[in-house]
Amino acid sequence: MLFHVRMNVNLPHDLPAAEAADVVAREKAYAQELQRTGKWRHIWRIAGQYANYSVFDVRDSAELHEVLSGLPLFKFMDIEVTPLLRHPSAIREDDS
């Protein structure tokens, strides 16, 4: 099942630099592994913001919750999720 997800990251200004660097490095590694497995299909940075639009391909909303709550930056994020369904006019068979 596909989900469109917007993630806004709000790191606290008083977060120590070393802690911020560590959590960002762990986030990158986790996100790249999810991309390799195909669960995180697309990610786009929103210009001028510490935010992204992403598409996840997971079994169901429970798996999406598990994936998102596993993000090292999760506690610093505001997340909006929209389930996606194949459009009847779509011509690509591989995008369901």
Number of structural domains, the chain?
A: 1
Element (H, E) at 14: none
The alpha carbon dihedral of 68, 44, 48, 26 has a sign of positive
Per the confidence metrics, is the pTM higher than 0.85? yes
What's the pLDDT tens digit per position in 13-69? 999 999 999 999 999 999 999 999 999 999 999 999 999 999 999 999 999 999 999
Q: Is 15 inside any structural domain?
A: yes
DSSP-derived letter for residue 1 is -
User: Which range of residues forms the domain containing residue 80?
Assistant: 2-84
Which residue, among 23, 79, 22, has the nearest Cα to 56 in the 3D structure? Answer: 79
Work out the percent of the chain whose per-residue pLDDT is above 90: 90
Quote the distance between the C-alpha of residue 82 and its chain's center. Answer: 12
Element (H, E) at 5: strand 2-9
Q: Is 92 inside any structural domain?
A: no
Q: Is 90 inside any structural domain?
A: no
- The CATH number covering residue 75 comes to 3.30.70.1060
What's the pLDDT tens digit per position in 55-89? 999 999 999 999 999 999 999 999 999 999 988 89
